[in-house]
Chain A
Amino acid sequence: KNEVEQSPQNLTAQEGEFITINCSYSVGISALHWLQQHPGGGIVSLFMLSSGKKKHGRLIATINIQEKHSSLHITASHPRDSAVYICAVSSWDSNYQLIWGAGTKLIIKP
């Protein structure tokens, strides 16, 4: 069983829909990261969080430490949001490295 699991693996939605991507992990963590990989390949860090909720524009990330679960939400989705969204955690046992999820491929249709 992977230590970081994302769902769904693939998600196709219509423009304007509210999007939720989930990440569950099985290790004790110091922080959880959400990243975005564009179709061209570039990888950008979206959020790093260890508790509560963070918001940036139309993106919202939440984390529940007790349940070992995080969600990434996109409001008013747009075709330019189409990308792979990756969850990664830094565990207490592996302080220098991130444990990566497999990614969720999101396609937003106009």
Chain B
Amino acid sequence: NAGVTQTPKFQVLKTGQSMTLQCAQDMNHNSMYWYRQDPGMGLRLIYYSASEGTTDKGEVPNGYNVSRLNKREFSLRLESAAPSQTSVYFCASRLGKLAGGSEQYFGPGTRLTVT
């Protein structure tokens, strides 16, 4: 099993450009998450999907959109990138729908720089 995979690993964007970060998991997990981690800071939840077909805002959703394409894939889109979105983005998944029910598995991260 590959676990949670993310593409790309690195990306540089100019202000105003758009891009989609891809995430896929092969563990048949129900819930998927997108986090951002700024230098020296903790993880902040952007959006999550508790099950296929549902998505919900997290702590910092502004400037982002998500799509739960199917049970395996959960993408994050930046429509008009801003320097404030420079960060490392992590995708994660868990088996259950509830946060207390199972461990969370993380992808390797995407390092995004917006100039």
Point out residues on A near B: beta carbons under 8 Å: 29-31, 33, 35, 41-45, 48, 50, 86, 90, 94-98, 100-103
Contact = CB atoms under 8 A, between A and B. Distances in A.
A90 B99 contact: yes
Nearest to B103: A45
Contacts, number: 58
Interface of B: 31, 41-45, 48, 50, 56, 58, 88, 90, 92, 97-106, 108-109
Nearest to B99: A90
Instruction: Pick from A86, A90, A96, A102 the residue with the most CB of B within 10 Å.
Output: A96
A96 B42 contact: no
B98 A42 contact: no
A68 to B, nearest CB: 15
A97 B58 contact: yes
A96 B97 contact: yes
A41 B100 contact: no
A103 B50 CA distance: 25
Given A90-B100, A101-B42, A103-B42, 12 more contacts: A31-B99, A41-B88, A42-B109, A43-B90, A44-B106, A48-B102, A86-B42, A95-B99, A96-B31, A97-B58, A98-B45, A102-B42
Contacts of B42: 86, 100-103
Nearest to A42: B108
24 contacts: A30-B101, A31-B100, A35-B104, A42-B108, A43-B90, A43-B106, A44-B106, A45-B103, A45-B104, A45-B106, A48-B103, A86-B42, A86-B43, A90-B98, A90-B99, A95-B100, A96-B98, A97-B99, A98-B45, A100-B43, A100-B44, A101-B42, A102-B41, A103-B42
